[in-house]
Structure formats: structure tokens, C-alpha cells
């Protein structure tokens, strides 16, 4: 299968802090790929570099065949992104924000698409409320909608289930699995290992900016093992290395 994400020796240094340390990784098309790691392991930096939001200090990354550093805007045209912390603009309503995204991405039928998302994620009653007045969970739903509203072949999502209630988490997990079954790829960064084990087919573990392991979830769980146990043993070993 073709790789939709490819990194070679990817590094990012902020002053004295090495956020990514020569990471080489490949993500194939049609995969729900989990990027796992403790807080501060470099997961968010990885997504920012892959989507051309920040520049690597070493190595390179290609996303959908595009150079993430030099063609960041084209990468962001093609992919969907849910950033970890960002909120939608304060003084637009939820509907206006999706209209704004539609105008920037040049989506002609944005109104109809937006309605579908309000229905799927059950927040149609909030569509005319300013984003600053939305709860964190509703903001997360809105960010989810903006990431998928143009039906990208690849989505890079950072902690997608955070702030969502258990019912909505279930809706989102089902959506993600279904989306991948249609041949799309999802690159999800999370530290909720149970979720990763449940929905991801492949995964990689980052720790202190270094890639500790990349492989298949099935390989870990085959002999009755579990991803959380595998992760903890690896990170603890890596932490003492």
C-alpha cells in the first residue's frame, strides 16, 4: 500500500528542548493510525510539523506526496486537522464558523454539509450561539465538524475524544472506524490507550521526542496482551534509558 505520511529523521528543537528526535515513520493509506505517548512526548509537535504549521529543524516529512515544510498550505488544503488546544473564533456563531471554513476551503454546499454535522453530533440547537459561549464539549464537536466537512482523504486529529461525553465518544469512534473503511486514513494522537487499542490498526509510541516502537495493534493483542501494558513497559524502559 502507498504511504500517505512518510517521515525520515524528522527533528524539531525549541531552544534547549528537543521535541522530535530523528523520527522516521510511515503511515499507509486506509489505516487508523494511533500516535501514542506520554504528555510532552512530541505528539502535538509531530502533527504540527506534518501539517506545515511549524518547520522541522532536521529531516523531512511528506504528506500525501507533498513536502510538509515547503507545501504546508497545500497539505492543509487536502487534509483535515483537529488541533489539540485551539478553539473556534470567539465572535462567530457555530454555523458561521463552518461557513467561514467553507469559504476558506471553497466548499459550495457548505450549508447542507454543516446541517449534517449538526445532526450527527447533536448540537443543532447551538448553531447560532457564539463560539465563546459554547461548552468545551460543543467546541470540540465543532472542531470535529470543521476537520471532516470537506471529506479529506487524510485527517490528523489530536486527542479527538477529549471533552466529549461517553455517548458522543461512541458516535465519534464509530464515525472514525467507518471513515477508514471507506479507504481514508486517520492519524490520531492520543494518550488514552484503551481508545487506541479499540479503534487503531497500527500505532507508534513516542517518548521524549524519540520513536520507541511502531507496529500493528493486532501483534500486541494477539497473545492476550494489551496495548496499555505494552505501552507502559516500553515507556518505563525508555524513560530509564
Partner 1 sequence: MHSTMFGSISFALFPVMIFGIVFMGSFLLPLLSVAFPAGDLAFLAHASFLLLGFMVGGFGLLGNEMMNRRFGQASLLVYSSRSLPLSERFIFTNFVVKDIVYYFFLWVLPFGGGYIAASPFLGVPLSRALLLLLTLSLSFLLGLCVVFLLSSLYVRSKAACLLIVIFLGIAGGVYTIWSGTNPTLLFPPYLLYSAFSWMTFLGTSIAVVTMFLASVVLFSPEGTGLSRTYRRRLGRLARVLSFLPESPIVAKDFLDLSRSGIGIGQALFSFVLPLVVIWFFLSLLRSSFPPNGLVVIFSLTAGIIASTIYTWVTEFDSFGPYSCLPVAVSTLIAGKMTTFLFLQVLPAVFIGTVAGISAGPEMIAPAIVLCLSISIYAAAVMAFLCGLSPSVLVYDVRVLLTYLVLDGVALVLFAAVSFASSLYAFLSVFLLFPAYLLFRAAGARWDARDPAGI
Q: Identify which range of 122-130, 160-168, 211-219, 232-240 contacts partner 1 by CB under 8 A.
A: 122-130
CA pair distance 49, 62, nearest whole angstrom: 10
Of 149 and 227, which has the nearer Cβ to partner 1? Answer: 149
Q: Kindly state the greatest CA–CA separation across the chain.
A: 53
Q: Identify which range of 91-99, 116-124, 204-212, 231-239 contacts partner 1 by CB under 8 A.
A: 91-99
Question: According to CB under 8 A, which one of 16, 39, 91, 224 is a site residue for partner 1?
Answer: 91
Question: According to CB under 8 A, which one of 3, 28, 40, 92 is a site residue for partner 1?
Answer: 92
Residues 39/14, Cβ–Cβ less than 8 Å:
no
Of 74 and 213, which has the nearer Cβ to partner 1? Answer: 74
Q: Does 101 bind partner 1 (CB under 8 A)?
A: yes
Q: Residue 142 corresponds to which cell in the numbers above?
A: 465543532
CA pair distance 4, 137, nearest whole angstrom: 30
Nearest alpha-carbon partner for 75 in 49, 56, 98: 49
Instruction: Tell me the closest approach of the beta carbon of residue 103 to partner 1, in angstroms.
Output: 4
Residues 7/187, Cβ–Cβ less than 8 Å:
no
CA of residue 79 relative to chain centroid, distance: 10
**Burial of 124 per CB tally in 10 Å (0-12, 13-18, 19+):** middle
Q: 34 forms bridges with which residues in the sheet? A: 188, 203
Question: According to CB under 8 A, which one of 2, 73, 167, 241 is a site residue for partner 1?
Answer: 73
Q: State the number of CA atoms in the 13 A half-sphere of 151 facing the CB.
A: 9
Q: Identify which range of 16-24, 82-90, 161-169, 221-229 contacts partner 1 by CB under 8 A.
A: 82-90
Q: Does 65 bind partner 1 (CB under 8 A)?
A: no
Question: According to CB under 8 A, which one of 24, 90, 221, 233 is a site residue for partner 1?
Answer: 90
Residues 176/186, Cβ–Cβ less than 8 Å:
yes
Question: According to CB under 8 A, which one of 24, 65, 122, 128 is a site residue for partner 1?
Answer: 128
The pattern of x and - marking residues 24 through 53 that bind partner 1 according to CB under 8 A reads ------------------------x--x-x
Q: Does 13 bind partner 1 (CB under 8 A)?
A: no
Of 36 and 49, which has the nearer Cβ to partner 1? Answer: 49
Residues 77/51, Cβ–Cβ less than 8 Å:
no
Write out the residues near partner 1 by the rule CB under 8 A: 48, 51, 53-55, 72-74, 76-77, 80-83, 85-93, 95-96, 99-101, 103-105, 126, 128-130, 132-133, 143, 146-147
Amino acid at each position: 500500500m502507498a504511504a500517505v505520511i512518510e517521515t525520515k529523521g524528522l527533528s524539531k528543537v525549541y531552544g534547549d528542548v528537543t521535541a522530535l528526535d530523528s523520527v522516521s515513520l510511515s503511515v499507509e493509506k486506509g489505516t487508523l493510525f494511533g500516535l501514542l505517548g506520554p504528555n510532552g512526548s512530541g505528539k502535538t509537535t509531530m502533527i504540527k510539523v506534518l501539517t506545515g504549521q511549524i518547520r522541522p529543524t532536521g529531516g523531512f516529512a511528506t504528506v500525501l506526496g507533498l513536502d510538509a515544510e515547503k507545501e504546508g498550505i497545500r497539505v492543509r488544503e487536502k487534509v483535515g486537522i483537529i488541533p489539540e488546544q485551539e478553539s473556534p473564533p470567539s465572535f462567530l456563531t457555530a454555523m458561521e464558523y463552518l461557513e467561514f471554513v467553507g469559504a476558506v476551503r471553497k466548499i459550495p454546499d457548505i450549508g447542507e454539509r454543516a446541517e449534517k454535522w449538526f445532526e450527527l453530533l447533536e448540537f443543532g440547537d447551538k448553531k447560532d450561539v457564539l463560539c465563546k459561549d459554547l461548552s468545551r464539549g460543543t467546541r470540540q464537536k465543532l472542531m470535529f465538524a470543521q476537520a471532516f466537512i470537506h471529506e479529506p482523504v487524510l485527517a490528523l486529529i489530536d486527542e479527538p475524544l477529549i471533552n466529549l461525553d461517553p455517548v458522543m465518544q461512541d458516535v465519534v469512534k464509530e464515525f472514525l472506524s467507518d471513515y477508514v473503511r471507506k479507504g481514508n486514513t486517520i492519524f490520531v494522537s492520543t494518550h488514552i490507550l484503551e481508545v487506541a487499542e479499540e479503534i487503531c490498526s497500527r500505532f507508534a509510541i513516542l517518548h521524549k521526542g524519540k520513536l520507541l516502537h511502531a507496529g500493528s495493534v493486532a501483534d500486541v493483542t494477539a497473545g492476550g496482551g494489551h496495548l496499555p501494558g505494552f505501552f507502559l513497559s516500553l515507556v518505563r524502559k525508555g524513560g530509564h534509558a
